[in-house]
Amino acid sequence: MTAKRLTVLGSTGSIGTNTLDIVRQFPDKFQVTALSCHNRIQKIHEQIEEFQPQSVCVGSEENAQWLKARLPSPRPEILSGTEGLIQLASNRNADLVVAGIVGAAGLRSTYAAIENGRNIALANKETMVLAGELIMAKAKQTGSLIFPADSEHNAIYQSLIGHQRSDIEKIILTASGGPFRDTPLEAFQDITLDEALNHPNWEMGSKITIDSATMMNKGLEIIEARWLFDIPVSQIEPVIHRESIVHSLVEYTDGSFIAQMGLPDMRTPIAFCLAYPDRLPLEGPKMKMSELGKLHFAPVPFEKFPCLSLAITAANLEGAAPAVLNGANEAAVAAYLDGKIHFMDIARIISEIMEQFELKKMQHDEQFPFLNKIETIEDALDADQWGRQIAQSSLTGE
Ligand SMILES: NC(=O)c1ccc[n+]([C@@H]2O[C@H](COP(=O)([O-])OP(=O)(O)OC[C@H]3O[C@@H](n4cnc5c(N)ncnc54)[C@H](OP(=O)(O)O)[C@@H]3O)[C@@H](O)[C@H]2O)c1
């Protein structure tokens, strides 16, 4: 059996390092063809030495020079910037591309991999939020298979195997509720950055951790599910499940619910994507059903999590709305992580930008055609950029 060749985009992040941990456990099954990072060059340097990829991409030419000076020849091809990332992702030497970049920055490379017919392990949900319709259409055209690595979507994917789409009643996306699920609304004004970064169940990168605290993450996942599974938003229901054991469910028309369960460990859904249709005997703690005790499910307290409502509204509007929402969210979360705004400002800023978006849309401003119609990946990126810039201006008071 030949080893599956992997390109890992965002190899220095949480998804990337979990992926490489699986490769480390199964060296005969996987071979790393390419790696990418943005700025953590010390970390990718170590990964290059361990996994010996043929190609690498880093965020800037300066970073590329830093690496070149430290790697003995024969060294891997070292690319940089957006063009380098597209070239890396397009390489047809890879059997599977792990899309583990965070944010809209991952869209062009993921799309390039799909254009080149590569199979994808998709963690970068913002890609589907910005351009889900275009991505699914391109994947259909090139034959690229998209395996969801996001634990909820992976659970749905598994729960759909062997079933007909027409028999789906509902998709139920479980949500841990993040660190503030039990915090009363009156106490939200006292939330600190450290508390928001302290997720009760998952260890993840900082952006998605804040998205989980605001529950924007669940909103982005609803949009992701809408396109991945070609299902209307009205048939996707978020439910609070504090233990993060049931990773999501599909309810069928006959009243059956099919779920995928497991400990909250991202290596499980990533391993599914890497090995499909095989299963990997992963190392690590195993779930014991007899010791689980009670599992809890509850309605989402929408009044505490306005970001989730904003995302559902954007999902229903379709067109440019999800991309604008994403840009505004990324700008607001970055400002929050920089200590520039309060936790509750994130939703307030996004809400203001979405109001401005609806006004602009009604005006059919010829300067911003992408706000009315998303026809290309560039349109989606422009809409994201519009939301991001308006949010940034609002942050700096310009
Ligand atoms: N972490 C999870 O458990 C989890 C679960 C489900 C879904 N996801 C999704 O997976 C994606 C990655 O999340 P993460 O938690 O792994 O994020 P992360 O830990 O912050 O890692 C992000 C990766 O993307 C790279 N990157 C950042 N900005 C970039 C840019 N402008 N251009 C190119 N590369 C860039 C980073 O490089 P540097 O290290 O050099 O900055 C890093 O390798 C997100 O879309 C997230 O929503 C994550």
For the domain that residue 37 is a member of, what is the CATH number?
3.40.50.720
Q: Is residue 309 part of a domain?
A: no
* Closest residue by CA, ligand 1 atom 29: 38
Looking at the structure, tell me whether residues 226 and 329 fall in a common domain: no
pLDDT at residue 365 in the model:
85
Q: Name the residue of 204, 220, 388 to mutate for ligand 1: max ligand atoms within 8 A of Cβ.
A: 204
Of 98, 115, 148, the one marking the end of a domain is 148
Closest ligand 1 atom, residue 103 Cα: 45
Q: Is residue 276 part of a domain?
A: no
Q: Is residue 37 part of a domain?
A: yes
Q: Is residue 373 part of a domain?
A: yes
Q: Which two tokens stand for residue 150?
A: 């996001």
pLDDT at residue 398 in the model:
65
Q: Is residue 27 part of a domain?
A: yes
Looking at the structure, tell me whether residues 131 and 200 fall in a common domain: no
Q: Name the residue of 14, 147, 247 to mutate for ligand 1: max ligand atoms within 8 A of Cβ.
A: 14
What residues of the chain score a pLDDT lower than 50? none
Closest ligand 1 atom, residue 220 Cα: 47
Q: Is residue 168 part of a domain?
A: yes
CA distance 10 to 40: 10
Beta bridge partners of 57: 36, 79
- CB distance 98 to 37 below 8 Å: no
Domain with residue 349: its CATH number is 1.10.1740.10
* Distance between Cα 122 and ligand 1 center (Å): 12
pLDDT at residue 258 in the model:
98
Looking at the structure, tell me whether residues 141 and 171 fall in a common domain: no
Q: Is residue 277 part of a domain?
A: no
Looking at the structure, tell me whether residues 25 and 56 fall in a common domain: yes
pLDDT at residue 397 in the model:
76
* Distance between Cα 2 and ligand 1 center (Å): 29
Residue 104 Cβ inside 6 Å of ligand 1? The answer reads no
Looking at the structure, tell me whether residues 136 and 196 fall in a common domain: no
* Distance between Cα 208 and ligand 1 center (Å): 8
Closest ligand 1 atom, residue 217 Cα: 47
pLDDT tens digits along 319-351: 999 999 999 999 999 999 999 999 999 999 999
Q: Which two tokens stand for residue 306?
A: 């306005």
Looking at the structure, tell me whether residues 22 and 136 fall in a common domain: yes
Residue 108 Cβ inside 6 Å of ligand 1? The answer reads no
- CB distance 363 to 351 below 8 Å: no
Q: Is residue 68 part of a domain?
A: yes
pLDDT at residue 161 in the model:
97
Q: Which domain holds residue 41?
A: 4-148
Residue 40 Cβ inside 6 Å of ligand 1? The answer reads yes
Looking at the structure, tell me whether residues 14 and 140 fall in a common domain: yes
- Greatest pairwise CA separation for the chain in angstroms: 63
Looking at the structure, tell me whether residues 141 and 185 fall in a common domain: no
* Closest residue by CA, ligand 1 atom 3: 204
Looking at the structure, tell me whether residues 27 and 128 fall in a common domain: yes
Looking at the structure, tell me whether residues 140 and 193 fall in a common domain: no
Looking at the structure, tell me whether residues 137 and 193 fall in a common domain: no
Residue 101 Cβ inside 6 Å of ligand 1? The answer reads yes
pLDDT at residue 203 in the model:
87
Looking at the structure, tell me whether residues 144 and 158 fall in a common domain: no
Reported pTM: 0.97
Residue 58 Cβ inside 6 Å of ligand 1? The answer reads no
The SS3 assignment for 245 reads: coil
Q: How many CB atoms are located within 10 Å of the residue 285 CB?
A: 7
Residue 35 Cβ inside 6 Å of ligand 1? The answer reads no
Helix, strand, coil abundance in the chain, percent, nearest 5? 55, 15, 30
pLDDT at residue 342 in the model:
97
Tally of domains within the chain? 3
pLDDT at residue 366 in the model:
87
Of 274, 291, 308, the one marking the end of a domain is 291
Residue 390 Cβ inside 6 Å of ligand 1? The answer reads no
Beta bridge partners of 4: 30
Residue 13 Cβ inside 6 Å of ligand 1? The answer reads yes
DSSP 233: G
